[in-house]
Amino acid sequence: MKKVIIGVLALTLSMSVLTSCKEAKDKAEEASQTLEEAGEDLKDAANDAADALKDVGEEAKEMGEQALDSIKKAGEETMDAAKKAGEDMKEATKKAIDSIKI
């Protein structure tokens, strides 16, 4: 009878260990799947961030080009105004010299 009881206890213990191992395996598989999903989410987030940075870079480039165009236009307008002012001064000087000659 002792052998039967010991056999039943050993069988029960074996079943308990087997069940625990199966549960541990299932939890490990769940954890693996969760980590895989987290990795995919991180990859997607990194791709989204890279796309956003690319867009920001393109916008900054466009803004820089617009600023350069504005500076160029302002420089041209300043040069035109300076030339006109120089011509006006030249004419005024000529008139002043002519008025002195008379």
What is the C-alpha end-to-end distance of the chain, expressed in Å? 149
pLDDT at 37: 94
Distance CA 46, CA 38 (A): 12
pLDDT above 80: residue 50 = yes
Q: How confident is the model at residue 69 (pLDDT cuts 50, 70, 90)?
A: very high
Q: Can you say how many angstroms the Cα of residue 76 is from the centroid of all Cα atoms in its chain?
A: 37
Instruction: Tell me the pTM.
Output: 0.50
Per domain, the residue ranges of the chain are 1-75
HSE, CB side, 13 Å, CA atoms: give it for residue 46: 6
Q: Which segments within the chain are labelled E, that is strand?
A: none
pLDDT above 70: residue 102 = no
